[in-house]
Amino acid sequence: MITDFFTTISDLRAFAPQMPTDGRIETMEAHYRPQYQKIVNLIGISTYDKLKTQYLTSGTDLTTTLGQAVNYLRGALANLTAIPYFKFEASQRNNTDNNLYRYQETQQIEIYLENAWTELNFLLDIMEQNTKDFPDYASTPQYKLRDSLFIKNASEFKRYYGAVNSSYFFNNVIFIIEEIQNDEIKSRVKSLSDITDENLKWLIGKAIAYETLSRACLQLDYTELPVGIRNDLAKEVNEKNGKETEVKSALSAAFGNKADEYFLKIEETNSSSVTEDCKQNIGPVDPLHQEDKFYMP
C-alpha cells in the first residue's frame, strides 16, 4: 500500500529528510497504514484512487492540477508516516550517540506535523478550487454539507477567528459547526437566510467560531488542533506540569465562555429574531476577559 505513492526510501526523504537513508520501502508499511486511513477519511477512497492512478501513470508531473495534488498528497503522507516511525525507533536511537533530549524529540515531531498540515492545506485548497477535476471529493457528504453552514470554508472561519487559517482543520470541524448551528443558533435565530443585519451576522460568526474551538479541544486529538493551540497546550503542560486532558478542558472552557458572550450579544442585538424559548433562557454570562487567558491556575 505504501507503494501507491512511494517507490523507495528516497521518495520519503524528498519530503521528510530526517527519515532513514537506506532500507526497503516496505518496512514503512505499518507506519503508513494509519495515515492512509486518515487520508481516505478526509478526501474519500475514490479521490485517493484517482490520485494514485495519476501518480502511477504520470509520476510527479506538476504541470497539471492532478499532478500538483499528487505532490501535496505525497508530502502529507511522507510527513505523517515519519511521525510514528520516529517514535518507534526512539528506543534504538537513544541507546546510541544520536540520543535526543525530550524537547528535541517534541520539536522534531512538531516539524513533521506542521509540514503535514501545510501539505494537507495545499491539497484541500487545490481540490476545492478545482472541483471539476475532483468531482468525487465535491460529492462527499462532508463537502456538500458546507452549503447549509453559516461558515462555509476556512477563509470565512479565519475572518471570525484570525489565528486559525487551515482548510484541514475546517474539514475536521465541519460536523461540529453543523452541531452548533442545530444546538445553539437555531434556538436563538429564527432563520439564518433572512438576516440582513451585518452586525448580527458578525456576532453569529464569532459565536460559532469560538464554540467550534471549544468543542474541538475536547473532541479532537492534540495532533488535529491548529499549531497555535497546540503550542499553547504544550506550554501549559510543560510549565504547570499539568495533564493534557486538564489543559484541554481549561482551554475549551475559555473558548466556551467567549462563545457565550457572543451568544448573549446575539440575543440582545435583535430580539425580534430570537425564538421564544431562547428569550426565556437569557441570563447573565460570566465573561472571559483577554487578560484571563485560558491558563490553568
Query: pLDDT 10s per residue in the chain (297 long)?
Result: 899 999 999 999 999 998 888 889 999 999 999 999 999 999 999 999 999 999 999 887 888 999 999 999 999 999 999 999 988 877 666 666 666 677 778 888 999 999 999 999 999 999 999 999 999 999 999 999 999 999 999 999 999 999 999 999 999 999 999 999 999 999 899 888 888 899 999 999 999 999 999 999 999 999 999 999 998 888 888 777 778 889 999 999 999 999 999 999 999 986 654 445 554 444 444 434 444 444 443
Domain boundary among 74, 104, 138: 138
How many structural domains is the chain composed of?
2
Residue 87 sits at the vertex; the CA angle it makes with 84 and 88, to the nearest 5 degrees, is 85
What is the reported pLDDT for 133? Answer: 96
Residue 144: how many CB atoms within 10 A of its CB?
10
Asked if residue 183 belongs to a domain, the reply is: yes
Is 165 buried (19+), middle (13-18) or exposed (0-12) by CB count in 10 A? middle
Domain boundary among 77, 104, 138: 138
Asked if residue 47 belongs to a domain, the reply is: yes
Determine the Cα–Cα distance for residues 212 and 177; give it in Å rounded to an integer. Answer: 6
Residues 194 and 112 in one domain: no
Residues 128 and 177 in one domain: no
Model confidence, pTM: 0.86
What is the reported pLDDT for 67? Answer: 95
The range of the structural domain enclosing residue 193 comes to: 141-292
Query: Under a CB-based contact definition with an 8 Å cutoff, are residues 47 and 143 in contact?
Result: no
What is the reported pLDDT for 93? Answer: 64
Residues 133 and 150 in one domain: no
Determine the Cα–Cα distance for residues 245 and 234; give it in Å rounded to an integer. Answer: 11
Residues 110 and 159 in one domain: no
Residues 150 and 277 in one domain: yes
Domain boundary among 138, 161, 176: 138
Residues 57 and 166 in one domain: no
Residue 127: how many CB atoms within 10 A of its CB?
23
Residues 84 and 151 in one domain: no
How far the first Cα of the chain sits from its last, in Å, is: 47
Determine the Cα–Cα distance for residues 69 and 61; give it in Å rounded to an integer. Answer: 10
Query: Under a CB-based contact definition with an 8 Å cutoff, are residues 81 and 116 in contact?
Result: no
Residues 278 and 175 in one domain: yes
Residues 148 and 286 in one domain: yes
Residues 38 and 156 in one domain: no
Which positions ≥6 away from 297 have C-beta within 8 Å? none
Q: Which amino acid, residue 154?
A: A
Residues 169 and 283 in one domain: yes
Q: What is the largest CA-CA distance in the chain?
A: 70
Asked if residue 230 belongs to a domain, the reply is: yes
Asked if residue 83 belongs to a domain, the reply is: yes
Query: Under a CB-based contact definition with an 8 Å cutoff, are residues 199 and 164 in contact?
Result: no
Residues 111 and 41 in one domain: yes
Residue 258: how many CB atoms within 10 A of its CB?
25
Asked if residue 297 belongs to a domain, the reply is: no
